[in-house]
Structure 1
């Protein structure tokens, strides 16, 4: 039975859909962002866990008084498409984020009436006022709670779009935008929450575990203390596109974001960064930057940390890590593997870093990469349902 992945401990869920109507009963394919997994990942601020639900103004512009309540999955309306699209040929390569399913989930909100009734409707373009606040001030954010059941229903409706090929998945993308027709900066009085689904292949071109190279240039900064670098919002991504283009000009696929005078390692592109090495004290260690306000608390990041701690075979550390420390370890042959983690790519090996005009060779691939492969296979077994785990939820 096709399964939908969930790789985050916050979710502890996996989606499994019935095979009715499928031509390949028993085939399995993961969903790169399972519904609950995705929502926790895209707004994982600690304050959220203490709230039963989040009002739109709080999500978009901070906490304030409100009178609205959450929408209910029991009120979900369904409008099936009359013009179904042709589904991708299983034999062809699926490009990431280029193909979309037949339906989408929509929920409207306004200050006066609160949430409207959620509805699943045919996939269509959005109609936005030219002064829509999201277009001018990047107020995007994400929500959860009753939305979870609505997304489950959406996936059920479009279950025939779940790809069966190995290495493919159904990617779930929820978006919340302020759509008030006003140029003023402030909490919007109108918002639109929608969810779209994409059958996708590998995030990076090539094989699932093809290594990438990183540009480490301290003149480019992704996030800073006191900012919103630990939040999954649109404003954190637009400014990185230019740096990504600069990295490609220099022969690198992604950017290793550094921070501060010590050139702290923070993230790799849109991924969390991990280093597997032998520490100076002789202990085998998996280290990743601590969640200090500039690091996105990724669900896959936490999943890998939890898996590694469950194995208990090496030290697992969340702490500050500088380029000087990394260079010493590389020079002394103590670095084993470097990789990024994210919901789109799962785990991504790193084999080169361009730093201060010099390419540093990282022996990730020469070392297997044993740990990366172990993480990757463990996640896939959970996502495809071949291994029972507490993160799974039958649907």
Structure 2
């Protein structure tokens, strides 16, 4: 159920940060450390649909201890960015695609689906109000976090909640790699799995991330930066790296083929993943979506048929993978450094997002 003609009630903060305070935060924003002056909220109630759309000052939430999200895990989220363009304007990158994935996540967790236009408008309202928080220069951006939680109060209820709160908050983000893009080492997790067939793997829900922390801690104990997930059934098919999708470059130069694990229902369909498939094709590379095993990875690095490996996601854009560790042995990807094709794809995507390269696909959504 939706509510036609929903209008946002704008309640700007009476005490926003001063320009000097904001500039101090923007000078070294890090990632997820500072938040803008405002947030957007929209409520959903069974029988009424979406209502009470508001822009209001950023503030803590007050929740009953029996709020269902705290007990039964109905919580989903998205991540996207707003970028300052060369003419000073601001644009978000593919917000409609994030809206569609948010709907799929909601459906999987038995939550109401927020219409695409309302999702995009909520982001537009917040970015327009807090546009001075969008950094300029380099790879800086304003990270946007739309999310939804179940707010019905009660325990022992074996059904989806009948009340929800959708919100958008924003945080200025500096370059994810302030010292430059460096290859990471990865640990192949054979003890834990991220998702199983029929589960919530393709939904962007909080529980998937909580369940990953133990395996990530194991990767760190093994001296690695990140964990790589394998399939739940055979424990041999490559799925994701941490919360990012993986790519493999087969061959070199103009004849290289760029492939990524196929979406099987247990992988998150990343927006960056999809964008890179199209960008790679635009640059003249062959692309593919297929199943890749740990044996394929090891053998490909040994005989040189796999020349580069990288992970991709909204936060870091592209992260090269330089080495692999597992209980069955270790190996290096090529010379262990960032590959030429990896960096070309990264520079092209960032160039499109920041308005320095032509947006051939209409991905940028301009906000005022």
| TM-score bracket for this pair, using the shorter chain length | 0.7 to 0.9
By relative contact order (CA 8 Å, sep 6+), the higher-ranking structure is 1
Distance of 1:364 and 1:201 partners within structure 2:
29
Q: CA deviation at 1:90?
A: 6.9
Distance of 2:74 and 2:282 partners within structure 1:
38
Distance of 1:182 and 1:90 partners within structure 2:
40
State the match for 1:254 in structure 2.
Answer: 226
Deviations 1:131-189 (A, max 9, x none): 11111111113443322112112101001111124221100100111110011231111
Is this contact kept in 2: 1:71–1:146, CA < 8 A? no
* Secondary structure in 2 matching 1:109: strand
Is this contact kept in 2: 1:137–1:185, CA < 8 A? no
Distance of 2:60 and 2:180 partners within structure 1:
31
Extract unaligned runs of 5+ from structure 1.
1-67
State the match for 1:7 in structure 2.
Answer: none
Query: Is 1:136 aligned to 2:78, yes or no?
Result: no
State the match for 2:317 in structure 1.
Answer: 346
Is this contact kept in 2: 1:229–1:293, CA < 8 A? yes
Is this contact kept in 1: 2:40–2:168, CA < 8 A? yes
Distance of 2:178 and 2:69 partners within structure 1:
35
State the match for 1:197 in structure 2.
Answer: 170
Q: CA deviation at 1:265?
A: 0.6
Query: Is 1:78 aligned to 2:10, yes or no?
Result: yes
Q: CA deviation at 1:373?
A: 1.2
Is this contact kept in 1: 2:68–2:152, CA < 8 A? yes
Q: CA deviation at 1:311?
A: 2.5
* Range 351-360 or range 266-275, more displaced: 351-360
Extract unaligned runs of 5+ from structure 2.
77-101, 103-113
Q: CA deviation at 1:123?
A: 0.1
Distance of 2:61 and 2:299 partners within structure 1:
52
State the match for 1:294 in structure 2.
Answer: 266
Deviations 1:228-261 (A, max 9, x none): 1011111211110111112112211111101232
Q: CA deviation at 1:70?
A: 3.6
Deviations 1:19-59 (A, max 9, x none): xxxxxxxxxxxxxxxxxxxxxxxxxxxxxxxxxxxxxxxxx
Q: CA deviation at 1:91?
A: 7.5
Q: CA deviation at 1:87?
A: 1.2
Query: After superposition, where does 1:265-280 map in structure 2 within 5 Å?
Result: 265-278=238-251
Query: Is 1:188 aligned to 2:161, yes or no?
Result: yes
* Secondary structure in 2 matching 1:273: strand
Equivalent of 1:381 in 336, 351, 366:
351
Query: After superposition, where does 1:207-226 map in structure 2 within 5 Å?
Result: 207-226=179-198
Is this contact kept in 2: 1:72–1:117, CA < 8 A? no
* Secondary structure in 2 matching 1:237: helix
Q: CA deviation at 1:335?
A: 2.0
Distance of 1:93 and 1:201 partners within structure 2:
7
Is this contact kept in 2: 1:71–1:117, CA < 8 A? no
Is this contact kept in 2: 1:179–1:188, CA < 8 A? yes
Query: After superposition, where does 1:362-373 map in structure 2 within 5 Å?
Result: 362-363=333-334, 366=337, 369-373=339-343
Query: After superposition, where does 1:52-71 map in structure 2 within 5 Å?
Result: 68-70=1-3
* Secondary structure in 2 matching 1:198: strand
Q: CA deviation at 1:356?
A: 1.6
Distance of 1:369 and 1:209 partners within structure 2:
11
Distance of 2:183 and 2:30 partners within structure 1:
18
Is this contact kept in 1: 2:323–2:336, CA < 8 A? no
Equivalent of 2:301 in 308, 324, 330:
330
Over 3 Å counting, the alpha-carbon distance change for 1:364 and 1:258 in structure 2 is farther
Distance of 1:230 and 1:91 partners within structure 2:
34
Cα RMSD for the two superposed structures = 1.9
